[in-house]
Structure 1
Amino acid sequence: MPLQAVRPKILGFISEQASAWLVALVVLLAGCTLTGIVAWATHDLYQQQVRQRFQLLVNERYTRLQERFEDQEQRLNSLRRFFLNSQQVSREEFDGFTQPLLLRARAYAWAPRVFREQRSEFERQVSRDRGVDFVIRELNTAGELAPAPQRDEYVPVLYSQTQSLLGSPLGFDLLAQPLRRATLERAQKSGRLAVSQPMQLVGVEPAYAAGVLLVAPVSNQAGNDPPYGYVMAVISMRQLVADGLPKSPRDNLVMQIVDTSDVQQRVLYESNNVVADSPLVGARRLTLGDHVYALTLRPSKVFELANHSSLSAILIMGGLLSLLLSALLYVLVSQRQRALKLVEQRTVQLRLREQELRGAHGQLRSVLNAATQVAIIATDLRGVINTFNAGAEKMLGFTADQVVGKLTLESLHLATELEMRSAKLGVALGKRIPASQAMLVESPDSLHEAREWTLIREDGSPLNVNMLGTVLLDDHGLWVGHLAIYLDVTEQKRAYEALAARDRLLKKLSAHVPGGIFQFTLEPQDNWRFIYASDGMRDIYEIETGLLQQDAKRVFERIHPLDVERVRASVRLSALQLSHWREEYRVLLPQRGLRWIRGEATPEELPGGGTLWHGYVSDISDLKRVEEELRALSITDSLTGIHNRRYFQDRLRAEIARLNRTHGALSVIMLDIDHFKRINDKHGHAVGDAVLQELCARISQRLRRTDVFCRLGGEEFMVLCPTTDAEQAYSLATDLWQSLRTAPMDPVGVVTASFGVASWRGDEGVDGLLLRADSAVYVAKQAGRDRVEAERARA
């Protein structure tokens, strides 16, 4: 066919006769139009993204500042609770407690209330304690601290922990200055935290002087009396707000904080970076104590530079691409004719090459015959074999004369295997595939992959091979036949079957072993890996074995947080000492919850470094549960359900040992049911047991969570009261005595008991305490029963 008869189109739609300049102009206009549309859409998207980024920054900054304000409140409240829970706080205790609290606060201070008649004695006492003169002071007109004049009341700074290099203004009277006085009065009136108006702080470097005073009143534990002092946090707004935030040259936001309760609306803090020319603004409210602050956030120049628009870049790049594309099409169209001439020249050259290829065909056949370990078979489009190399003759037992031009590729395959493959391909591809083509058609899920087939030798015996099939094309790209390459895999298959049999045996053995069997390695780079994990490992940790072999750290994610570091340390110690590893630990499973696991393994050192363990793990949750039940039974009275004598004795010894170390109070209440033998004799032992159970139920309801209620035996009971003095224990015993007398028990009526109370003395042991409680019960019995008797005073 002459070349002039074929008129292809460039890119499928541009005729070769079209003017190159016209094509270039049309493409340029279309490209510029598309660039404009993309630029408009990009600009709109840019505006939305800028607003979203600004809102994210505003929310993050507001959250951080509010957390800092709340953190200062929590720290001051903890200092107030420290004073509330302490009868007296020394300076060393104050310094030790407040030193860790100094985070974004310039200072913490304690200022007690001192009245006019107490001033002299207070100053002398503090001077003696500190070793230097101490005077209650205030700021004079020159801004210096001077002795304060006589007033009805003072609140001087007694203790102070500060970060300031200028020291602490000890003795400074907070009532001498109106802003501080107003803050203390609001704190005293509300009983909660109070914040001062913006002020210049005393004893603080000028750079941090602008700030507020956060005050909390300290009252007695009852909370009904006026406060006897105040704890304070001296807060510099510069330190509280700016510390930890980006420096001004790199900050994306410009902040301003204004106290809304301030009549003058003074600015408490303001960033010194430059505000961007943007309408974006964010407003939030911060709370500190009893004040609300207005937080205003605007984008800075840094934010504006970091979020610049790419509109100009899109316009420039789009214009350049349009220009380049039009120039490319101009070149393609203008050189079309010259390309056709080059094609004619190449055609002549290809004909010469055809002759050379025919000569190479003979060489290729020699190469095919030289491949004696691989069967290479080629067919035409009908499937008739036209090439059968020496490797195929050796593998199948046929000669080339018996096969070439006489047999098809289908005749060499097992017929049933072809039919099964044909049916499977028909389902996958949605059309019928002839059995003669089944070995040559590729399924969608295995393109260009070797498949295993069964061939029939000349003697009729089967042969397992791997086959790779492909199409044969001529010089013009036309399909002329197929090429099949076969590789004998009989020995390889036998090896795979032996390995599979070994794996099945190992899996069967591990399935009958309770728990899980594993091989685990720890490599020098701290790489944890399971070489082998049986199916039991999946049941133990509720993790698939495949995932365990990919990442051993999944097991440590299942281990209880309180046990995981201990397990890691024991594994490393076993690797270091090559000692037997054994651990019991808890795991938290998604389905079964908390379980107890026991693991054992024997380590060995690997030649290339690292350690290999062979071991097993098993679930011991049932064993742990039985141990806990046995322990509970050993310390519980089976009839009443309360603790027994053994538990009481162990607990009493532990409490006395604790008191010998830390001091404190401890009391016991012993009670004996009055005339209990009459109840058993008159109503029977079943009713007597019911009376004991009802008595225990009534008393248990009246006890505190820290009290320990035990049955000593028969009708004798004991209540162990930690941190309880004699007066408190007597009051509790009276309450228990009343709970028995107020309501009768069916069918015996009112049941009474005799109570004896004793408190621990530092110079006696367990027997002395119990003897005094028993003596008090004896006195109650002798006095007519149904009463509470306290221990007798020491002679």
Structure 2
Amino acid sequence: MSMQVSRPKMLGFISEEVSAWLVALVALLAGGLLTALLALAAQNLSQQQLRQRFELLASERYSRIEERFDEQVQRLDSLRRFFVFAVEVTRPEFDGFARPLLQRTQAYSWAPRVVDAERSAFEQQARKVLGRDFSIREQSSAGVLQVSRSRALYYPVFYTQAMSDQVQPFGLDLLSQTARQATLARAAVPGAMAVSDPLSLLGVDAAYARGVLMVAPVFSEQKPEAEPKGYVMAVLSLRQLMADGLPGASQDNLVVRILDLSSPAEHEVLFQSDNQAADSSLSASHLLQLADRHYQLDIRPSVAFMQANRTSVVAAVAFLGGLLSLLLSALLYSLFGQRQRALTLVEQRTAELRISEQSLRDTHNQLHSVLEAATQVAIIATNLRGVISTFNAGAERMLGYSSAEVLERLTLEDLVLPQELHERAHLLSLRYGREISAAQAMLAETSQEGGSEPGEWTLLRKDGSHLVANMLVTAVLDEHGLWVGHLAICIDVTERKRVHEALAARDQLLEKLSAEVPGGIYQFRLNPDGSSCFSYASEGLRDIYEFDPALLREDATAVFERIHPDDLARVQLTIRYSADHLTPWREEYRVQLPVAGLRWVRGEATPEPIPEGGTLWHGYLTDISDLKRVEEELRALSVTDSLTGIHNRRYFQERLKAELERAQRDMQDLAVIMLDIDHFKRINDQYGHAVGDHVLQSLCQRINHRLRRTDVFCRLGGEEFMVLCPGSNADQAHSLALELWQGVRNVPVDGVGRVTASFGVAGWRPGEGADALLLRADSGVYAAKQAGRDRVEQELP
């Protein structure tokens, strides 16, 4: 309590009881308020500078436009004075004087005063001067120029000089339209000048067709009080007048609009900038005068102006002010927090030391209890010289010594079989190249970071008996990290070693038995995720699959790659069926081996489910290639005639049945040829059975040479033979029978001469069975014999 009362105040006025977060928050709020004030002042200054820039640009634009209006008045006045002081102005003189004045002006024109009595003479004179058709005209309601009606007075356009290439309105009477007539009336005073209302201009490009007409009267110098002798005119388009020489729409900083104030109801816009006005309160309005007409000029800032004058001062002030406020808050929080944490840490460490002291006492008592309770493990501690300083109850039980007999009297070396120590010392001496004593041999590889791997030692009991134990020796360090002794932990492994030896003997016996069993014994495991392995595989599987059994214990995928592609799907299907239904698995399949080539394998196994999922089979595999070869030989003998080497009656019946099913299923042709050797009994009686056998063999050899690969040649018995022709109809079989007949009768048999045979042909008919087909073929042979033998009989109906 006294420590808290006597704490000094931070910065002289802030108590340490105040939270560091509160101090930082107050500093952050104060900095934020100051930053907001500075940003507001910067914003006002920026707006003031922006307004000054705008007003400067608007004033400059107003002066430029006003100057252009004054120029138009001065140029028209100079043209008027040119007519006043000249006795007569020819067209070349007009063109020469007016052409230089065409700057931002669509056209300059001269309209003389013509009375109705002089109209015809004036039109003839104008045609000569202009060199073209000319007449005084007026504008119809449709906007088309037509010959003017008769009036007392005319002011037709006579001379004109224009910037546009369009046809000029020569002869247009200015008094023919109300707007132009009113303008002339206002300008009918010497020295006056008038501007018309906005109207559609003639002879001007469509883009500039909307504009005004500025006129000035020309009086005679001798008679200024008389009627004007004519008017000079300037055709003005405010779009051209404003746009010429000014920045483009995308670069112009100002948006300009000119309103005609002649109409009090609605002011027509004579000019409007093409660029977009910015959303701003800045604007300026001025009054312009052109001759006797007043116009309103409205100026606003454009988007380009606002973008060009955009400032980041406010954002910079806000960012820097906020950053400084945040840094100041962080600094104050760090100062207050560190001081408070330091004082708190001192109090915590003091309390922790008291707790640690009590915990150390409790740990010492617990350690003593653990040492005494560990009756199955010997825990022995020594000093640096190896003298035993701790000997627990497990060591007493294991070695037969009491603690009083060991502590400070025996060393760890005294408890180990001397022969093992000497052998260990000798090996270590050879390894390190220096002499290692027996006392050092046990502790030679002990380091400060930990001991060596547990080693198997033979310990000496008090009664002189031996005890095999795993002993781990580690270094004991004090609180300063200094090596002060050793700690040995011993576990009796006598029983475990006996069990390991028994298991090794059993494994050796299993290996011997599996080596004597033909084939291989295995355990095959199929996991739920589809992976598989041989959890046990005897050496016999090395010959079955030509794989190391150790590899198969990790993954069985390679085994399925050795199975013949034609058998793989069937094997996998039967394995899956056995797993799903837990039925025994039996299968015969082919394997393709890199060394042994194609081999046949038979496998049998019994499945059982695995608790964690999947199936485990116990079974064996054996090579049955020799058995398969014997089966094939027996099969060949069972369907082969032993005398002639061709197929026998049994094979013919099996093949005929299969070909009939195919013909019925696929609607294919099928035919048979039956033949019987003529007078074969006479050959046996005359030459003997050996010659008869030779005749049969010779005939079969000739017929075989003439048959196709798809034809099947069989001996039914005795001298009867049958040819099965898949894919052939009766006509095709008859042609083949004629070839066979020629081959038989044209080549004599040695020792016998010419031998002939009778042939019968039958083609299969839809819905017909084997017996009916053979009966028709046999009837054909019978008909051939009845007809004199040595012939081929056509298919009978």
TM-score tier by shorter-chain length is 0.3 to 0.5
| Rg larger for | 2
TM-score (norm 2): 0.46
TM-score (norm 1): 0.46
